[in-house]
Structures are given as C-alpha cells and as structure tokens.
Amino acid sequence: MSFKKLLKSGGIALGLGVWAASSIVAPAKAETREFMMKWFLEAANSQADVKDCPLGLNASPEEMFRAQLHAIGLSKDETEYLVTRINGGSSPNDVRDAIVYRGRSPDGKPMQAYTYPTSVPDLKLFHPYIGPNAYGFNLDGQVKPGDFTDPDTHEKGIDNAYARAVGCQVNQRGSRTELPTYGARHWDFARDKSPAWLVRLVADDFTKDGDVTVYVFRAMERAARDANGSLRRYWTFRRDPDTRWQNVMHGKIKDGVMYAEGDKLEMLGDPFGYSNFKLRAPHFRGYFNPDGGLEGLLGGYVPWKTMFFVGGSGAYNFETMTGTNVPALYYALEQNADATPDPKTGKNTEISGAWRIDGIQAYIAESAQSAMNTSDKSRSTK
Amino acid sequence: MTARYSLTRIISSLIAVGVVAAAVPAAHDLTTVKVAQAADAAPSGDSAIMRRLTPQQYQRIVSDVFGVDTEIQGRFEPVPRVAGLLEVGTGQVGLTSSGFQQYYTIAQGIAAKALDKNHRDVLMPCKPASATAPDNACAQQFLSKVGELLYRRPLTQDELKMQVDLAGQGATTMKNFYNGLSLSLESMMVQPQFIYRQETVVPSKTKPGTFELDAYSKATRLSFFFWDTAPDRALLDAAKSGSLDTPAGIKKQIDRLEASPRYEDGVRAFFTDMLQFDQLDLVGKDATLYPNFTRNAVDDAREQTLRTIADHLINQNGDYRSLFTTRKTFLTPMLGSLYRVSVVSDLPNGYPEQWTAHEYPDGDPRAGILTHISFVSLHSHPGRTSPTIRGRAIRETILCQKVPDPPGNVNFTVVQDTTNPLYKTSRERLKAHATEAMCTGCHKITDPIGLALENFDSDGGYRTTENGAPIDGSGTLDGKTFSNAQTLGQVVSEMPAATQCLVRRLTAYGLGREVPATRADWLKGLQETFAKEGYRVTDLMKTIATSPEFYQSGAAS
C-alpha cells in the first residue's frame, strides 16, 4: 500500500511539513529516537544477472576515454599513449592535461571537460537501467511507462530517474547489503570531516500505529569513531540552528514502518559531495532494525546538477580513481531528468531519486544547557 | 660506606671515562649501598625510610623545579602494590641497572631542556662570566638553589662541592659552562637523595628517649601527603626556621597546604593508588563486543571518578561514605556514548574532553563510584564481566579485607563459557562452579556483592539481561541485604569497615608503611575523630598530619 493510499484509507489529512521552530521539541509524553546518519547514499537494487541493464553495464573508464578521445579527433596511437598512462593522481602531466582538456570548443580549441562537460561529445556512454525494480516512491502519484516497482513495498509507479541514469554504472550498483562504492566512498570521506547529518523521530509509541514526525538536521560536530574504526553510537550532537537545515516531515506508522512526507528538505554537506542537497517533495520510509538502528529510505526530486556535482567536483582524480566519466554522467543526468522544466528551455531541471539512510543511535542536543542534568531513558536507548 | 661517597667516586669516573659508559655500572653500587643502608637503619640520624618517587611525583617535581613544559620521556620500573598501596611498595624497591639507566636517560633530557637557551635565563639566578669556561660561583648559586628543591633539603657542603667541581670539570672539558652545569644536574637527578624520599630521624626534643623525623623530613612527608610532590620553598623555609618542630608551626603549614589548589593533586594521588587506577592503563576490551571502549574512554573514565571524588570531598566537603551513593558526577561526550547519556560539548570538533556536571535522576541504576565505568571495567575480563573479581575488589580495596587467591588447579570452564544455554547468566554459571568444594568458600565472600554489579557489562554499559535472561542483582553483604548496585552502594557506605579501611589506607599512604599493631590506639583514635567530624576526608588528613605519630620514627617503635 502506498503512503497516500494509507492516508486515504485512514481518512487522515496529510500534514505536510512546514518548518516551525516550536515543532522541533517533542511533546512531553512523546517518544523520541535520535540517530546519526551512518550512511546516506543512493539506494541501489542491482541484479546479479544484469538483466536490469539490457545494453550491458557501462564500459570501463578506459574504454570511455578511448571513445571520447577518438571522437575529438585523436589518432589510435595518440589515444593509446594517453589511456595507457593514466595513473590516478600520479599521471604524467601531459596525460593529465590531455584528459582534463579533452573538451573542444566550436572552433576546435581544447576546453576543460569538467567545467564544460558539454564540450565533450555525447556518445551515450551510460546505458539505461530498466529495473524493473528500484527503491523509491511514487512521487507524482502516477504509474507511467518507465516507472519502477519498489522491491520492498512492491508499489508500482516508483519515480527514480536517477537510478535509470546511473544504474548500469559498475560503481553505482549495489544492494541493501552491498553498498555502491560510488556513494559509499563519498559518504565515508565526508563523515570524517563534515558535520554529521541527524534524524529525530517522534511518535507517541513506535510500537503502535499512529502519527510520526521525522526531523532531519545537521549537526555542529562530525562523527566520532569507535575502537573498530566504525562510527561511535550514542554520541551527542548539537543541532545546527541554521534555519536552512531544519527539515520536518509528517506521517504515520503502519505495521512498524514509518511513512512521512514533507514540502522540502535541504542539507549542507561536504563540498566534494552533497554540498547543498535540496530535495523537493521529500518522502520517507523507515523502520528500526534489531539493534535499534534506523533503516530508512528518503526520496524526492533533486536538481540534477546537484547530483552531477557530487561526482563532477572531483574532476580528474575522481574520474581516474573512481571510474565515473564526468561528461558522460552529465549527459545521463540531464537526459533522464524528469521534473520541473525550465520555463525558458523546457528542459527538466530536477531528477527523481531515492537514498538509503542507515542511522545509528545518537543524541541531539538543542544546546549545552538543555542536555545537562538529563538522563531521559526514552531517548535513543532502545 | 654511604651512598653519597660511593657516588662521588662514580661521578669522578663519569668524567674520567665518559658519562654514559660509566652510568650503568654505577647503578650496581648505588643499589647495593642503599638497600644495605635501609636495612641497617638506626635512630642515630641516618636514613630510616626510603620511598622511590612514583612517576607522577617525579613529573610534578620536575615541573615545579624546571617549568611545566618539561615532559618526561620514558617509563620507570614498576613498583609492587604492598598493603593495597603502591605508595607502600615504593618503600620496598631497589633499582636495577636498566632502571638506573632509564633514570639517567630521562635526567639527561630534562637537564638539556632546563638549561637550553629558552629556559636557562628563567632558571639561572646568575650569568656566568664566560659561557665557554667554568664559573664556580655562578654554578654554586644555581646548584644550591635547585639542589635544595631536588633533595628536599639544603645540600651539604660536600654534596655541593662535588656538584660544583663536576660542573667545572665538565665546562673545561666541553668548553661550555652550561654543558658542565647540565652534567651536574644530570648527576643530581640520579642521586638517591632525589630518586628516593629519604627520611632522617633525630632524637625527639619533646619526648626524650624517642625519635622523630627531622624538620626537612617532616616537610617532605607533609608535602607528599597533601600535594604528592616535594616541599615548596615556603615549606623548606619553615623546616629551616624550626617552626616544624612545634605543633603550631606544623598546623600553620597544613592549613596552607590544604588551602592550595595543589591539595587536589594529593587527594587524587591517594585515591588513584587506593582504587588501583594505575591498572586502568592495562585495561583493554574486546572491540567486537565493546566498540565504544576506546583508550580515550578509559582515560575519561578514570578522570570521571577522580573528578567526582575531588569535587565531593574537597569542593563540597562531603561525607566520605556518600561516595558510594552519590548521583552527582562529571561526564564527557565520550563517556556519554558509553553511559548512553546525552553529554554536550560546546567546543569545536577534536575537543571531546570537555567535562559537564551531571546528576543521575532518582531511580537511575547509576549511583556511587562503584557503578562508574572505571571501577566495573577495571574489575572485569576483556570479553565478559566477573562478579568474583568485582566482589574481591570491593572487599580488598574498599573494605581492606583479604580474599585468598584461588587454588592453582581450579577448573574455570563453566564460568568462562558464556554461551552455555544451561547457564545464561553469571549468577547461574557461578552457582554451577561453586559446587566444587574447593571454590565454595571464597566465592561466598566475593560473588554476592559482585553479582550486584552485573547490570553493568564489562565496558560499564548498562544491561538488564544476559543471553536473554533477566539479571538478578540481589544479595547480602555481611548480613545486610541489597537488591541491586544502587542499594549495594548504600550497604557499603554504612559498613564501619569502609571508613576504617580509609583510615588504614590513608595512614599507610602517608607513612609509607602500615601502622604497626603497637599503634593500634592511634588508628582507633583517628577512626573516632573521623566519625565525630562527619567522615570528612580533609579533616581526617589534617588530624593524621597533626598527630605526633605521623612523624615518629619507625626505628623508634
């Protein structure tokens, strides 16, 4: 049952979240659980047999470079000279320069491929992912050709154009248990040097059906590590009071699963990742795992260029070390964008997507004073 | 032959053949002489008690004398815990060759830093006539000033002359005044007069026929008792003036010592020793089972308990017994992640050590220092708890009761197997184990009280079940019943043995040995005064330090 159907069946009006400072603090009798996002990355549901990519997986990074270099007029020998000498950050300068400036202006002059990705020919290097399963939500309320089916809820009409754009890229493939290396690398890198992202859930009783409110905040502190190098549970984070990062979604608990929606969600992340993540029509679904952690899914529409810059900002080192061809990523996202057309160009500016949230228990403090002298057992001790 | 004259020859040989080469064999002479000297102690003005400085005391003295930025690089030889205290053990240790070498290496580093260009102008009371030649007058000024602080008494003429000569010879050989002086400083810091707290007894002026510490030894005993460091200039001056030979003079100094912020150092040092917190350096947990138990968390856990003790006993002047029931403590975010309590630091990332006052609410299972992570994790195995070890710790460290060691042929299989479905909890495993006749007796002493702490896992985390079975923390301690750790703390706090133990430990800590049976009346009197004054530890320390018994010679008794 979709979230909207759930709400309709209960005859309950959906309270779309509008930020209000007074709503951060839970009612006195409510139960609150708080988490730090251990993982926030694209929700992948790849099939081992690769039938979800009928054209096959995307070509290797070397093959994509070969194709692009050939397309801009380099000979086979010139192309091989460059491609065989690419060595991440240790590449020779001439090789590095040739790859970085493989774009071409209309008059044939070299252009920087990352700032001007369209200066590199569009060779349709990213193959379409067709599923038919992909995590996410039916954001537009319709069941259209090309929509997916959610593997957990079996709901049809799932809008996840981001998966369609990048789901055949090897480093974007994964599952609930095997994280896609693309997103995992970003988040693992970011969480040691950027303030943590936090989730607060408030309900009268999480074991019963009823209302739930989902808050997403940014912390003032980054995560701490434990003896195993994993993120430390039960750390106390201060909520960043910046009004831009106060996000709220309202919804229901049904059979142990929380569903919520909001108007918008905005977060500030690492400059080389989700530097400014703006999600329209955010949808949330989640439940608690046996350890008391949160397993959640966040969906909505995001400006496709945000998703481009997650990779594109890494430029040459990102391309050569992670294997994601930046101009090809640009074209794939642009061409799969599925919402909010630009009034002037008519081109869609947003792309639907879904991100998994793995939350570990944490405390969110409003201020030093509010957290002192308290030992509220209802908070994140489950 | 005394150690002093033996060292004269040693230092001469250092100059003759090179300092480093001569230093190690010299240690044999040093150790042999000092041990013999201690054994022959007699009430004739010779040394009667020698205690080796603890690493913390050594560090404090070095910081006091040379500046707080002087760090000690290296570790000293371990000291055995005797009568429950390392401080008593320090009176029963010699020095091996390798141990002496370590002292020498550390002394070299300290001397070099103390006399480098950045520090010498602050430390030196004079400037040499030439930086490349000896200046005996200036060297003597410096060495007599520093030497008095290091030796905790003025240097004798022979001692001073030896060091000045050494500095002069070094300056000549190395054509550098400061290098020569550094040589003397190194030599002083490996002398037994510095490394060991030597106490000298003299005939008592007030009780003819008996002996007591001389004034400088009194100053030393007072200073280490209250501050865990060597006497400062004011205390040495008081010794020199003779005021420490009068009760009024001693009281005046005790009041000054107690009023100083450094008094907290002394209180912390005592409880670190009594609670065996030195052992926390060796505590490690299975990271798979207890991932939040990191090295930093251990350091914070130790500090939590010491901070709680210091605040309760000093700042609040609280009842010692309340340490076992108090809900007030201090936490860091690191500890909060173990206790599962929200603890906010408003410092930037990378500064998680900020401390916050915290009070557990009524009904919370945490109350008293026995429920602190420091105590329960210290007395646990790396991968599981141990009610037996915890019970023994309470008996021995808090109540001063001796628990026999287990026999060598005990089969621990049942206790160690935490996966046996027949025995899900520690209580069940210990019950099965105690069916072995040879084990029953001791386990009756330790286990009931240790089981009260079973709600706290090996890392100190709170739990209500073990392997799915509920944990029962109830039991009895010497006829008093309790239902959990909270009420165990209450029972312990009400036991006369707890306060008697503190008096016994504190006197042994101050004297460097347990109070002999011949002075049992003194202990009894201290206990009565302690009770009368509401079990205030500061008052007890002052009562101990104003007692004539605190300064009477062991040899005299």
The residue-averaged pLDDT of B51-55 equals: 95
The 10s digit of each residue's pLDDT in B240-258 is 999 999 999 999 999 999 9
Question: Which residues are paired to B339 by β-bridges?
Answer: none
| Nearest residue of chain A to residue B292 (CA atoms) | A226
Going by pLDDT thresholds of 50, 70 and 90, the confidence category of residue A17 is: very low
Chain B residues touching residue A234 (CB < 8 angstroms): 292, 336-338, 340
Instruction: Decide if pLDDT at B380 tops 60.
Output: yes
Within 13 Å and on the Cβ side, how many CA atoms surround A340? 14
Probe site for chain A from B344, B360, B459 (most A CB atoms < 10 A):
B344
Contacts 24+ apart (CB under 8 A), A3-8: A3/A137, A3/A251, A3/A252, A3/A259, A3/A261, A3/A283, A3/A285, A4/A138, A4/A141, A6/A252, A6/A254, A6/A259, A7/A251, A7/A252
Inspect the interface and report whether the beta carbons of A228 and B356 lie closer than 8 Å: no
Q: Are the beta carbons of B143 and B177 closer than 8 angstroms?
A: no
The residue-averaged pLDDT of A246-274 equals: 94
Three-class SS state of B70:
coil
pLDDT for the residue numbered B404: 87
Chain A residues touching residue B358 (CB < 8 angstroms): 372-373, 375
Question: Which residues are paired to A137 by β-bridges?
Answer: A159
Cα separations in angstroms, B463 against A29, A170, B470, B482: 24, 44, 9, 18
Query: Is A66 in the B-facing interface, judged by CB distances under 8 Å?
Result: no
Instruction: Decide if pLDDT at A371 tops 50.
Output: no
Burial class for A254, CB neighbours closer than 10 Å (0-12, 13-18, 19+): middle
pLDDT for the residue numbered A381: 34
Going by pLDDT thresholds of 50, 70 and 90, the confidence category of residue B102 is: very high
pLDDT for the residue numbered B67: 82
The 10s digit of each residue's pLDDT in B277-333 is 999 999 999 999 999 999 999 999 999 999 999 999 999 999 999 999 999 999 999
Least confident of A274-278, B73-77, B336-340, B483-487: B73-77
pLDDT for the residue numbered A267: 95
- Whole-angstrom Cα distance, residue B298 to residue B450? 21
**Chain centroid offset of residue B69 CA:** 22
CA dihedral A61, A66, A72, A76 (to 10 degrees): 160
Query: Is B334 in the A-facing interface, judged by CB distances under 8 Å?
Result: yes
pLDDT for the residue numbered A382: 35
Query: Is A382 in the B-facing interface, judged by CB distances under 8 Å?
Result: no
The two structure tokens encoding residue A20: 């209000």
Query: Is B286 in the A-facing interface, judged by CB distances under 8 Å?
Result: no
Pairing of strands A348-365, A235-238: parallel
Of B447, B435, B462, the C-alpha closest to B336 is: B462
pLDDT for the residue numbered B348: 66
Of B292, B293, B344, the CB nearest to A365: B344
Instruction: Decide if pLDDT at B30 tops 80.
Output: no
Going by pLDDT thresholds of 50, 70 and 90, the confidence category of residue A6 is: very low
- Whole-angstrom Cα distance, residue B344 to residue B338? 14
- Whole-angstrom Cα distance, residue A225 to residue B333? 12
The residue-averaged pLDDT of A321-338 equals: 94
Inspect the interface and report whether the beta carbons of B346 and A230 lie closer than 8 Å: no
Chain A residues touching residue B343 (CB < 8 angstroms): 236, 363, 371
Mean pLDDT of chain A: 88
Query: Is A381 in the B-facing interface, judged by CB distances under 8 Å?
Result: yes
Q: Are the beta carbons of B97 and B25 closer than 8 angstroms?
A: yes
pLDDT for the residue numbered B420: 86
Q: Which of B16-25, B465-474, B519-528 has the highest mean pLDDT?
A: B519-528
pLDDT for the residue numbered B334: 93
Of A233, A371, A374, the CB nearest to B292: A233
Phi first, then psi, for residue B32 (nearest 5°) are -60, -45
Of B57, B196, B189, B180, the C-alpha closest to B110 is: B189
Going by pLDDT thresholds of 50, 70 and 90, the confidence category of residue A367 is: low
Q: Are the beta carbons of A69 and A79 closer than 8 angstroms?
A: yes
Of A226, A373, A375, the CB nearest to B291: A226
Inspect the interface and report whether the beta carbons of B287 and A228 lie closer than 8 Å: yes
Of A224, A226, A379, the CB nearest to B342: A379
Inspect the interface and report whether the beta carbons of B364 and A375 lie closer than 8 Å: yes
Instruction: Decide if pLDDT at A8 tops 80.
Output: no
Inspect the interface and report whether the beta carbons of B287 and A373 lie closer than 8 Å: no
Inspect the interface and report whether the beta carbons of A224 and B334 lie closer than 8 Å: yes
Going by pLDDT thresholds of 50, 70 and 90, the confidence category of residue A89 is: confident
Chain A residues touching residue B294 (CB < 8 angstroms): 226-227
Query: Is A290 in the B-facing interface, judged by CB distances under 8 Å?
Result: no
Chain A residues touching residue B290 (CB < 8 angstroms): 227
pLDDT for the residue numbered B206: 77
The residue-averaged pLDDT of A258-285 equals: 93
Q: Are the beta carbons of A277 and A247 closer than 8 angstroms?
A: no
Query: Is A378 in the B-facing interface, judged by CB distances under 8 Å?
Result: no
The two structure tokens encoding residue A17: 């979240």
Cα separations in angstroms, B352 against A282, B344, B527: 34, 9, 41
Inspect the interface and report whether the beta carbons of B356 and A372 lie closer than 8 Å: yes
| Nearest residue of chain B to residue A238 (CA atoms) | B344
CB atoms under 10 Å from CB of B490, counted, come to 16
Inspect the interface and report whether the beta carbons of B337 and A365 lie closer than 8 Å: no
Query: Is B292 in the A-facing interface, judged by CB distances under 8 Å?
Result: yes
Instruction: Decide if pLDDT at B344 tops 90.
Output: no
pLDDT for the residue numbered B7: 39
Of B292, B340, B342, the CB nearest to A365: B342
Mean pLDDT of chain B: 88
Instruction: Decide if pLDDT at B72 tops 50.
Output: yes
The two structure tokens encoding residue B551: 């300064």
Going by pLDDT thresholds of 50, 70 and 90, the confidence category of residue A27 is: low
Of A227, A375, A380, the CB nearest to B287: A227
The residue-averaged pLDDT of B527-536 equals: 98
Q: Are the beta carbons of A376 and A337 closer than 8 angstroms?
A: no
Three-class SS state of B35:
helix
What distance in Å separates residue A14's CA from the closest CA in chain B?
Answer: 33
Cα separations in angstroms, A151 against A137, A166, A302: 11, 18, 22
Chain B residues touching residue A224 (CB < 8 angstroms): 333-334, 337, 352
Least confident of A145-159, B129-143, B397-411, B422-436: B422-436
The residue-averaged pLDDT of B357-375 equals: 95
Query: Is A91 in the B-facing interface, judged by CB distances under 8 Å?
Result: no
Going by pLDDT thresholds of 50, 70 and 90, the confidence category of residue B346 is: confident
Going by pLDDT thresholds of 50, 70 and 90, the confidence category of residue A62 is: very high
| Nearest residue of chain A to residue B352 (CA atoms) | A224
Query: Is A379 in the B-facing interface, judged by CB distances under 8 Å?
Result: yes
The 10s digit of each residue's pLDDT in B421-440 is 888 888 888 888 877 777 77
Least confident of A267-271, B18-22, B364-368, B527-531: B18-22
Of B290, B293, B361, the CB nearest to A375: B361
Query: Is B359 in the A-facing interface, judged by CB distances under 8 Å?
Result: yes
For residue B289, the 8-state DSSP code is T
Inspect the interface and report whether the beta carbons of B290 and A365 lie closer than 8 Å: no
Query: Is B294 in the A-facing interface, judged by CB distances under 8 Å?
Result: yes
Question: Which residues are paired to A33 by β-bridges?
Answer: A201
- Please give the full DSSP string across B228-277, using - where no structure is assigned: SS---HHHHHHHHHTGGGSHHHHHHHHHHHHHSTTHHHHHHHHHHHHTTG
- Whole-angstrom Cα distance, residue A99 to residue A102? 5
Query: Is B505 in the A-facing interface, judged by CB distances under 8 Å?
Result: no
Probe site for chain B from A234, A364, A373, A379 (most B CB atoms < 10 A):
A234
- pTM of this prediction exceeds 0.95: no
What distance in Å separates residue A89's CA from the closest CA in chain B?
Answer: 29
Cα separations in angstroms, B356 against A65, A238, B267, B325, B332: 56, 15, 21, 19, 6
Going by pLDDT thresholds of 50, 70 and 90, the confidence category of residue B214 is: very high
Query: Is A371 in the B-facing interface, judged by CB distances under 8 Å?
Result: yes
- Whole-angstrom Cα distance, residue A253 to residue A248? 16
Of B504, B480, B505, B483, the C-alpha closest to B493 is: B480
